[in-house]
Structure 1
């Protein structure tokens, strides 16, 4: 699980809240619905204007992925590849069809099915490489959505600050409204800068790292399946794939 990401968000929010409290403020002063509406709504609207709706939806999926995904299971996958090698040598490539049906990973499942269908290594490589590249490009584009939102959020905070000051200037005779307007102005700025630098930009970079790590994992799978197709034994495959275990 992505414990580090969750811990980072909690630490960031706690640091802001504790610093505000130590400076003599109250936590309720940081809760402002109009400011949140301006920053969150404006940032999301800007993303929809710049990107396709499919990219924005994919970005939402990857946000959840960033908080739930752990390391790539290189060691476990290598053990599976070695097991598939033994099955292929004992039962033939057709024996891998039953193994493919047990898997939930569509990429690996597709590769094993291609082997079971008797496709050559060239067909296997070309098919899986297209899947790898297209998935990588789609997810990197979604990561750019999140990074772009990190660029828009501070600007939305400034817009919220200006709107708050406009409200203040229009109600100088009402001290109570004056206080609320100033609060909205400054809290909106905090929301915009905090959302960008404590969440969106770090998460965007984390997703890019996860995408690259998954690509390396898929490269390992592809290499292993091609070695099986070429008839290599378990020991030779383990030696060839050992370098991936550090990824």
Structure 2
């Protein structure tokens, strides 16, 4: 039955989408935590600077650690983790649309619709 087919396939598509989006959430979480870890590195670098206030030759290394940690944290978030999450979401959306298109075609076939009508329905999914 076409409606039963649609119900079963919609559940499958929904489950697929939820499972796939878990991977994107992991990358988003990494993008959220990365700057925080960078700030922690900056604080540790500044603590090192404070420990060596009496020896000016050691101050530069601590300040460098602070800046580098911040740059790595923010850079990884904005140049790696968040873009990967975005691309994963876009790819998942394309896969979901493909599956919805397949369901529309199968339901049209199960209903006995004219192939030209099915074709015109499926063309709406192509963007």
- Fold shared by both chains (TM-score > 0.5): yes
Deviating beyond 3 angstroms after TM superposition, the runs of 4 or more aligned structure 1 residues are: none
Deviation at 1:174, TM superposition (A): 7.0
Please show how residues 155-194 of structure 1 align to structure 2 within 5 Å.
155-172=36-53, 173=55, 175=57, 177-194=58-75
Structure 1: any 5+ residue segments left out of the alignment?
Answer: 1-119
Superposition map of 1:208-247 within 5 A: 208-246=89-127
Question: What's the TM-score once normalised by structure 1's chain length?
Answer: 0.47
Give secondary structure in 2 for the equivalent of 1:232: coil
The structure whose RCO (Cα within 8 Å, separation 6+) is larger is 2
**Distance in structure 2 (CA, Å) of the matches to 1:170 and 1:233:** 80
Q: For the residues of structure 1 that align with 2:121 and 2:50, how far apart are their CA atoms? A: 71
Paired residues, number: 126
1:1-247 equivalences in 2 (<5 Å): 120-172=1-53, 173=55, 175=57, 177-246=58-127
Question: Which digits, 9 at most, give the CA deviation of each residue in 1:1-56, with x for residues without a partner?
Answer: xxxxxxxxxxxxxxxxxxxxxxxxxxxxxxxxxxxxxxxxxxxxxxxxxxxxxxxx
Alignment TM-score, normalising by the size of structure 2? 0.85
In 1: Cα distance, 2:121 partner to 2:5 partner: 18
How far apart in 2 are the matches of 1:158 and 1:242? 50
